[in-house]
Amino acid sequence: MDAVAKGRVVRTALLAFALWPLVQMTLVWRYDVSPWKLAGWGMYAAPRFGLVGMEVYGRAGANDPWQQLATPSLEARAAAHAFLERHRWLRRLASSRELVGLVRAQHPEWSQVRVDVAYPELDRTSGYVRLVRDERVDPGD
């Protein structure tokens, strides 16, 4: 590799290093990604919370009441645990598709599945910790 090519590589790496914090901050702002992940510097300005809770519901028809999933299968429990780990860091970017598929297999009578995740977050305007809810409804076929 000649000196000109090495210079381009170094400049490109420096530019990427300089711009990545802006990209990471945009992901945090737009998709609620944890500031502690994706090699951002936001971790120095945000507390780290570990508590995350989740409930899964289903219903047969659009006008029927939601029923809570009371006894998930072992596969659904494993998928829920994996989803919660992804959600803790990626939040709205984390996919619940695998979990919803396993719940649908366990309850084929449900035409809709709803996954509710709750997690604490620092409210930047008031300084209080508030509980944020991420509700995902899979409408089915």
Q: How many CA atoms lie within 13 A of 79 on its CB side?
A: 20
**For 14-28, 71-85, 100-114, which range has the lowest pLDDT when averaged over its residues?**
14-28
Residues 120-132: tens digit of each pLDDT = 888 878 888 888 8
What's the whole-model pTM score? 0.70
Residues 47-68: tens digit of each pLDDT = 777 767 899 999 998 889 999 9
Q: Residue ranges of the domains in the chain?
A: 3-138
d(CA 122, CA 128): 6
